Amino acid sequence: MKPIHSPLREKSFFRKTSNALLKRFFEHYETLREIAWSGRAEADVDDVYDAYSELPEDTRRGIANDLENLNDLASERGMPCLVEAAGRWHIDCGDMTAHNLAMTLFLEHRDTFNTAHDWWTIDHFQGYSDFRGRNPLVIEDTDKGLPQLQAAFSDYLGSLEKGVDVKVEVYKDIEKIAYVVCHEDYVKAMERFREHTLVVENDRPVFYATMVYYPSSGKLKVKATKNELVEFSRDAFAEHIIGSRDFFQHQDVRLIYDLDRFKLPWQFELDPADHIEYVRVVAIRFHPELNTKDTVEVRSYRDLAQRLRGMNVDLNRVKITHVSLCFKFPGKGRIGARTVNLSMPNRNNLGDSKNDQLIERYLVEWKIANM
């Protein structure tokens, strides 16, 4: 998969990684042999960065690709993926920092590192539609039906007069399975900064649809650009992987947000052990009259309820179609704030990170989400 990387600052990354691991990392590429690694302070990497910057472009580009993956996981959001992957293979993390753990797995357990990065990429996709199956169902053979699923997407793309070259990649974890549909679609050339220089690239989006399935609950999360593709992905997955085309379509099992819950006084009970400072409704969208398509949206980060009162809006007399909730995790100011958008009947901007899983659990507990 081609991830959207976190911003990489090589010198900062080098400073946060132990010199012993950096030495092994560059030995892996048979470069920077002239660097004297012994006897230096851990954060003294100016000459390392300078020597790295002077490497031939092709060599540096290959190293930078791996550094980007390392940098993704050596972060607050990436650390849970590292620890989870290490624990799955009984690798002792000790008290290693995120940078040192990422580098250790990269050098010593590459398959584990790659698995962790694959899930980092999937977990931080956002904008899913959620569906609940008729019952929990374990997929015994994740590859069974895969050729048919791939052919179905190829036919679908052909009907849209797009290229039919499609590959479906499968990623397995203890609690979930992801099917990622890849398709290269040539678009107009774009100028981007590379090494402080503008270069022209033919951008090729490769993610066409992503389906994440949870056997223990029968839940399916689908990410795709259009509602038609969401529904096609859901039905194709049900038909070829589950073996029952209407597994997610029955009215009783679709995940539908009950936004009428926001007509009640807004009370969000939280477990102190989850370290969520507060939850606020920060935006609400509604039809002011039940039989009209007119839409009104009101936003306020501080006190939306007071603003609605000032506008004489009675939520009991409107049809709510969209709500934004702000969950405040630890961090100063806006750091740690996660705004979740919920739209009828089942659209959201949740990914599958640990914080987003926690948020989804609360939405169920508060009876906003039917899962």
| Domain end marker among 210, 242, 274 | 242
Is residue 107 located within the same domain as residue 16?
yes
Is residue 158 located within the same domain as residue 85?
no
238 within some domain: yes
**What is the C-alpha radius of gyration for the chain, rounded to an integer number of angstroms?**
24
Two structure tokens written together for 65: 């690709």
Can you tell me the distance from the alpha carbon of 200 to that of 309, in angstroms, rounded to the nearest whole number?
A: 52
278 within some domain: yes
Is residue 274 located within the same domain as residue 329?
yes
Range of the domain at 227: 129-242
Is residue 283 located within the same domain as residue 234?
no
Alpha carbon of residue 237 to chain centroid:
20
| Domain end marker among 75, 101, 123 | 123
How many structural domains are present in the chain? 3
Per-residue pLDDT of the chain (371 residues; tens, 9 = 90+): 556 677 889 999 999 999 999 999 999 999 999 999 988 898 899 999 999 999 998 899 899 989 999 999 998 777 778 887 777 777 777 778 889 999 999 999 998 898 888 888 887 777 788 888 988 999 999 999 999 999 999 999 888 877 678 889 898 887 889 999 987 665 555 565 666 666 665 544 456 899 999 999 899 999 888 889 999 999 999 999 999 999 997 766 665 788 999 998 899 999 999 999 999 999 999 998 877 788 999 999 889 999 999 999 999 999 999 999 999 998 776 678 899 999 988 888 887 778 888 999 999 999 998 76
Can you tell me the distance from the alpha carbon of 61 to that of 59, in angstroms, rounded to the nearest whole number?
A: 5
Is residue 117 located within the same domain as residue 189?
no
Can you tell me the distance from the alpha carbon of 342 to that of 8, in angstroms, rounded to the nearest whole number?
A: 32
DSSP string, 254-309: S----GGGGGS-------GGG---EEEEEEEEEESSTT----EEEE-SS-HHHHHH
Question: What is the longest distance spanned by two Cα atoms in the chain?
Answer: 76
247 within some domain: no
Is residue 89 located within the same domain as residue 148?
no
Buried b (16+ CB within 10 A) or exposed e, 281-311: bbbbbbeeeeeeeeeeeeebeeebeeebeee
Can you tell me the distance from the alpha carbon of 275 to that of 362, in angstroms, rounded to the nearest whole number?
A: 13
Can you tell me the distance from the alpha carbon of 131 to that of 152, in angstroms, rounded to the nearest whole number?
A: 20
Can you tell me the distance from the alpha carbon of 231 to that of 129, in angstroms, rounded to the nearest whole number?
A: 9
251 within some domain: no
| Angle, in degrees to the nearest 10, between helices 46-53 and 57-73 | 130
H or E segment at 222?
strand 219-223
